[in-house]
């Protein structure tokens, strides 16, 4: 059974376990090599040459065996640590409710996507999406239904990402973000309308009635000179325009500051 390393006492126990194993291996190997060198007759005379051969053989083989065993164990621990680090990194960048990237993960991957788009000479579009009247949904139907709304909207964004090779995230609260490269302004507007229509087509069942859900979207597109912060701010301004103009609509800003 593996010893969990959580306290100084665990370290001492693990060290003791390793020492016991090493001592046991040394004893077994020493006895085996001694039998091969000296034979099974415990009363037989031993020459200096035999002792030298025993010492050399035992030292070499025991050293190799222990080094190999400890190195293998250390390698397993390093592999486990690498897996754990990857899992923690993924958790830290993923929204646990929807399975989409969270803001931290989005910012990291979006920056890489912008660099690649710049290298490829491709356009970049940023979409900001916000669920309409989400606070009212939570207040009226409860947070369980609110969570189901978030999951449904996240699924719409996920399908959009699959169709268009986009990067999507739950950016915070009821707000979602997307980055898509290589599309024209018209294609981006069409994609945003796809998201809006697909969200409006989703209905959340609360056990009694069907709850319609709508979303407002603002987007911006640039062909070069990408700055994620500026693109996000410009798309956010377009989103607020969509909210002001009645919600359940798409607004766009052609140029990012």
Angle separating helix axes 143-164 and 134-141, nearest 10 degrees: 140
Opening angle at CA 48, ends 44 and 50, nearest 5:
60
CB atoms within 10 A of CB 173: 11
DSSP state of 122: -
Q: Is the pLDDT of residue 251 over 60?
A: yes
SS3 203: strand
pLDDT value, residue 108: 92
Q: What percent of the chain has pLDDT over 90?
A: 51
Q: Catalytic residues, which ones? A: 174
For range 158-169, the mean pLDDT: 95
Angstrom distance (rounded) from CA 206 to CA 50: 86
Whether the model clears a pTM of 0.85, i.e. scores above it, the answer is no
**Which pLDDT band, with edges at 50, 70 and 90, does 129 fall under?**
very high
């Amino acid at each position: 059974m593996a010893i969990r390393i959580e306290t100084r006492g665990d370290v001492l126990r693990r060290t003791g376990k390793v020492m016991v194993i090493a001592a046991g291996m040394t004893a077994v190997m020493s006895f085996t090599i001694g039998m091969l060198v000296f034979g099974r007759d415990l009363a037989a005379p031993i020459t200096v040459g035999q002792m030298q051969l025993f010492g050399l053989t035992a030292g070499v083989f025991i050293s190799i065996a222990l080094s190999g065993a400890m190195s293998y164990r250390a390698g397993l621990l390093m592999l486990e640590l690498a897996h754990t680090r990857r899992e923690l990194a993924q958790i830290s960048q993923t929204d646990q409710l929807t399975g989409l990237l969270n803001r931290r993960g989005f910012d990291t991957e979006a920056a890489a996507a912008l660099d690649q788009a710049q290298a490829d000479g491709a356009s970049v579009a940023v979409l900001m999406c916000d669920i309409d009247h989400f606070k009212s949904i939570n207040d009226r139907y409860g947070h369980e239904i609110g969570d189901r709304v978030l999951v449904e909207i996240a699924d719409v964004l996920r399908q959009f990402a699959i169709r268009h090779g986009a990067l999507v995230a739950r950016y915070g609260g009821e707000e979602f973000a997307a980055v898509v490269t290589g599309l024209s302004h018209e294609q981006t507007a069409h994609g945003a309308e796809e998201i809006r229509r697909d969200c409006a087509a989703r209905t959340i069942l609360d056990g009694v009635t069907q709850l319609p859900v709508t979303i407002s979207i603002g987007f911006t597109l640039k062909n070069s000179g990408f700055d994620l912060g500026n693109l996000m701010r410009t798309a956010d301004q377009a989103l607020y325009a969509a909210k002001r103009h009645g919600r359940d609509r798409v607004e766009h800003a052609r140029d990012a500051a």
